[in-house]
Structure 1
Amino acid sequence: QAILLVHWILTTWGSIVFSGPYAWANFTILALGVWAVAQRDSIDAISMFLGGLVATIFLDIIHISVFYPRGDLTDTGRFGAGMAILSLILKPFSCCFVYHMYRERGGELLLHVGFLGPSPGRSAYQTIDSPEASNDPFAGPESRGQPGHGY
C-alpha cells in the first residue's frame, strides 16, 4: 500500500509537466496495484502489477527523455519533472518489493537462466512402472496384467 501511495503522489506531481501518455500509463498501472492489494490471494493481479511496473520503467525513460522541456522551466515545471524522475528512480526498488510479494503468493521464479534457475521437480513425472500407468487404455497388454508378446 505504501508503494502505491508513494507512486500515486509522485505520478500526480509528475503529471504537472508530463501529461497525456505518461499519466495514462502510470495511473493504469497504479489501478492494477489497487487490484493486487484488494485481492491478496491473486497471483494474476500481482504479476500484472509487476509486469506493468517493469513496462512503465521503459516507457517513463522514453517519455521523459523525449518530452523533457528544454526551454525556460518554471519552478513548478522543475518540481514536476523532478518528481517524475524520482518516481522513475524508485520503480526498480518497488519492483523488487512487488516481486517478493509475488513469490510469497506462490508465484514461480520468473527467470530460468541455465544453471542459475531451479531444476524441474521430478516428483511431477510419472514413472514407467507406476500403478497409474496400468490404467492407460493405449498401453500394451503387459501393462494391464495380461500376457503379451514381451517386446
Structure 2
Amino acid sequence: MQTAIVLVHWLLTVWGCMGGLPGSFAWGNFTVLAVGVWAIAQRDSVDAVLMFLMGMVVTVLTDIVHFGIFYPTLDLPNENRFRFSAGMAILSLLLKPASCFFAYQMYRERGGDYNVHFGFPSVSRNREAYQSIDQQDESTGPANPFNQAQDSKPAARTY
C-alpha cells in the first residue's frame, strides 16, 4: 500500500512541477517521497514511517502556502500547461490526508505508539495497580490498638 502511495504522489508531483510552481515545491515534496522510499525499503523501521508521516503533514501546509503565494492571477503564455500542472498539484494535495491516514496505520502496524505528553495530568484506565477495599484479608489488615484481645493483661504503667 505504501508503495502505491509513494508512486502516486511522485507522479503527481512530477506533473505538478511542470508549470509555474517554484522549485521549493519540488524540493519539499521529493524529499518527503525519498523518505517514503526509505520507509518502504526498511520494513521494520518505525522511525522511517514516522518521518514520512510528519513530512506529509508538513508538505500539506507548505503546499497550501505555495498555492496561496504563487498561483498567478494574470494570464500566462503557457496557460494550459500551468492549469494542468496546478491541477495535478492540487490533486496531490487533496490525496495527502488519505495518504497520512494510511501512513499512520502502517506506523501503528510496525509497533509505533505516538504518545505526546505536555505535562498535564491525565486519567489512566489501568486499574491493575489498585487493590479493592471491599475484600480485605483479615491477616493483612492493620492492627487496631483499641480492639485488643480480652484475655490479655493491661500493661504496667510507668510514671
TM-score norm. by structure 2 comes to: 0.69
1:86-105 deviations in whole A, cap 9, x for unaligned?
00000000000000000000
Choose which of 84, 102, 109 in structure 2 pairs with 1:104.
109
1:122–1:39 distance in 2 versus 1, CA, 3 Å: farther
Question: Whose Rg is larger?
Answer: 2
C-alpha distance in 2, partners of 1:101/1:112?
22
Compare 91-100 and 15-24 and name the one that shifted more.
15-24
Q: Does 1:75 align with 2:80?
A: yes
Partner of 2:41: 38
- Say if 1:57 and 1:110 are closer, same or farther in 2 by CA, change over 3 A: farther
TM-aligned CA distance change 1:107 to 1:120, over 3 Å: farther
Is residue 6 from structure 1 mapped to residue 8 from structure 2 by the alignment?
A: yes
Q: In proportion to residue count, which structure has more helix?
A: 1
CA RMSD of aligned residues (A): 2.4
The one-letter code sitting in structure 1 at the alignment partner of 2:108 is R
Unaligned regions of 5+ residues in structure 2, if any? 130-159
**How many angstroms does 1:121 deviate by?**
5.9
| Residue-by-residue CA offset, 1:62-111 (whole Å, 9 max, x unaligned) | 01111012211411110000000000000000000000000000000456
Structure 1 residue runs of 4 or more that deviate by more than 4 Å after TM superposition: 110-113, 120-123
Which runs of 5 or more residues in structure 1 are unaligned? 126-151
CA contact (8 A) 1:112 1:118 kept: no
**Which of 13, 29, 33 pairs up with 2:32?**
29
Aligned partners of 2:71 and 2:39: how far apart in 1? 31
Amino acid at match of 1:80: S
Among all aligned residue pairs of Structure 1 and Structure 2, give the percentage whose two residues are the same amino acid. 58
One-letter amino acid of the counterpart of residue 76, structure 1: R
Partner secondary structure for residue 41 of structure 1: coil
Q: Which amino acid is 1:5 matched to?
A: L
Higher relative contact order (CA 8 A, sep 6+): 2
Give TM-score, length-normalised by structure 1: 0.73
Segment drifting more, 92-101 vs 72-81: 72-81
Residues matched between the structures, number: 121
**Distance of aligned partners of 1:28 and 1:70 in 2 relative to their CA distance in 1, 3 Å threshold:** same
Deviation at 1:56, TM superposition (A): 0.3
One-letter code of the match for 1:90? Answer: L
Q: Which residue of 91, 100, 103 maps to 1:95?
A: 100
How far has the Cα of 1:59 moved from its partner?
0.4
